[in-house]
Amino acid sequence: MKIKTGRGTIGLTLLLAIYSISMVTSLPGLAISPILGKMETVFKHASKLDLQMLESLPSLIIVPFILIAGRLSLIVNKKKLLIAGLAIFFACSIIYPFAKTLTLLLIISALLGIGAGMVVPFSTGLIADYFTGSHRTRQLGIASAINNLTLVLATLLSGFLAGIDWHYSFLVYCFAGISLFFAFYLDDKPPYLTDSQSKTAQSHTAGSSAGFKWPFNLMFFYYFITFVVLTIPFNLSLYMQNLHIGNPGTSGTLISVFFLAITLPGFDITRVISWFKGYTNFISLAAIAAGLILFVFKSNIFLLIIGVVLTGLGYGTMQPIIYDKTARQAANKDATYALSLVMVMNYIAIITYPFILSWITTDTAYFPFVFSLILASVFTVYAYFRKNTPVVGMPNG
């Protein structure tokens, strides 16, 4: 079976290798979430900060290593760099269940962050290498969907395994072994490079990517929409508790629905763009704002379901479009680096969100939805006045 790339065709095994990378990027921190309560019992003398670091440390470490890996992709063989990152990640997944001390768990978590950071840029960078035009748009959508679907499934699996034994929760990281296996089927040299281009790419140094332009606008925009939608997974449980809507299990279900809604547009993003054309950005942001309005009005459970679905669909549409625009604006050899700069904003948003909200207000249940609605509304209005701008992914985009 051959898959069209816009530059020719590739085999199914190679495509699966590219897809498998997207499975890994959403995993760091997942195994800790369902066992944090158990950790307080296991490590009775540990501080709350120590226990919180188990969950947040991988994300903190990921940020600089995404940037390092993206930069190294200009001068180092991408396949070798990716395999090294996956090998570190997979090794951590094997060691984790045998860790008996909090110190060792923290060390492994730091190493996991290093491995994940080395892998994240290639989840989209490889697609930019192998695909072009509408083929790239479609594949970036599918990769985004796989990433979010893995997040949902791995979260459920992690919780199930934690119910058997808290050590087993870490086994969800073993998904990296699948990615590591397939990584050996990747080409040693990006398919777009001619011999002369290859020499040029390898002549780059860490301080000189001549002509490279940082995608500041896309970096800011990705940070903004991620920050806005994080309000749901970060604050939904407390919001529902304060309004006496449902129970903790209900909020967990709604968060799963939210991530599933993010997943859906990616499976056929080119069709979504063909439906909405120049209105795609506006409609996506309007969906996010409309979803948040339902929370501001303190709605019932049925309207909250609609709210999380609308917000998820809007974000799930914009995510692959931002990746696509980043890849299109960069030169072929710089695409992975440019994408790493944009993708790191997702992790920076996750890290900074609680600090910014705590600085603005002490209300962590209701106000975050009001604040995010205001931000989403401002950008929705801006997108309306730019609705005739060609959307990336369309033939004239």
Is it the case that residue 201 has pLDDT exceeding 90?
no
Q: Containing domain of residue 6, as a range? A: 1-132+163-205
**pLDDT bucket at 386, cuts 50 / 70 / 90:** confident
Q: Domain boundary residue among 142, 177, 205? A: 205
User: Taking residues 249-258, what's their average pLDDT?
Assistant: 82
Give yes or no: residues 42 and 76 share one domain. yes
Residues of 193-220 as b/e, b for ≥16 C-beta within 10 angstroms?
beeeeeeebeebeeeebeebeebeebbe
90 and 111 both lie in a single domain: yes
- Residues 112, 235 within the same domain: no
Q: Are residues 61 and 105 in the same domain?
A: yes
CB 323 within 8 A of CB 339: yes
280 located within any domain: yes
Helix axes 248-266, 231-242, angle to 10 degrees: 150
Question: Which of 177, 205, 233 is the endpoint of a domain?
Answer: 205
Residues 188, 241 within the same domain: no
Whole-angstrom distance, CA of residue 269 vs CA of residue 321: 8
Write the pLDDT tens digit of every residue in 41-63.
Answer: 888 887 777 777 887 888 889 99
Task: Kindly report the average pLDDT of the chain as a whole number.
Answer: 85
* Over residues 76-93, mean pLDDT: 94
Residue with the larger pLDDT of the pair 280 and 387: 280
Q: In this structure, how many other beta carbons lie within 10 angstroms of the beta carbon of residue 9?
A: 11
Same domain, 256 and 184: no
* pLDDT tens digit sequence for 314-343: 999 999 999 999 988 888 888 899 999 999
Are 122 and 188 in a shared domain?
Answer: yes
Statement to judge: residues 122 and 180 lie in one domain: yes
| Mean pLDDT along residues 349-376 | 88
| Structural domain contains residue 18 | yes
Is the pLDDT at 69 greater than 60? The verdict is yes
Decide if pLDDT at 305 tops 70.
yes
Section 256-262 average pLDDT: 91
Rg (alpha carbons) of the chain, rounded to whole number:
21
pLDDT of 395 above 80: no
Mean pLDDT computed over 365-378: 92
Q: Are residues 118 and 242 in the same domain?
A: no
Number of domain units in the chain = 2
Quote the CA–CA distance of 2 and 258 in Å, as a whole number: 34
**pLDDT exceeds cutoff 70 at 64:** yes
Average pLDDT over residues 382-392: 68
- Using the predicted structure, report yes or no on whether residue 302 has a pLDDT greater than 80: yes
The answer to the question of residue 158 being in a domain is no
- Find the CATH number of the domain harbouring 36: 1.20.1250.20
* pLDDT score, position 389: 57
What burial class does residue 316 get, using C-beta atoms within 10 Å of its C-beta: 0-12 exposed, 13-18 middle, 19+ buried?
buried
Band (pLDDT 50/70/90 cuts) for residue 205 is very low
Q: Is the predicted pLDDT of residue 300 greater than 80, yes or no?
A: yes
Do 110 and 238 lie in one domain? The reply is no
Mean pLDDT of 63-80: 91
Do the domain assignments include residue 73? yes
Q: Identify the band that residue 198 occupies on the pLDDT scale cut at 50, 70 and 90.
A: very low
- pLDDT tier at 388, thresholds 50, 70, 90: low
In a domain, 150, yes or no: no
Q: Are residues 82 and 126 in the same domain?
A: yes
Q: Which residue has the tokens 């209105």?
A: 279
> Is the residue at 53 inside a domain?
yes
Q: Are residues 266 and 331 in the same domain?
A: yes
Residue 172 lies in a domain: yes
8 vs 62, more confident: 62
Q: Which of 205, 231, 262 is the last residue of a domain?
A: 205
**What average pLDDT does the segment 141-163 reach?**
87
Which residues touch 356 (CB under 8 Å, ≥6 apart)? 227
149 found inside a domain? no
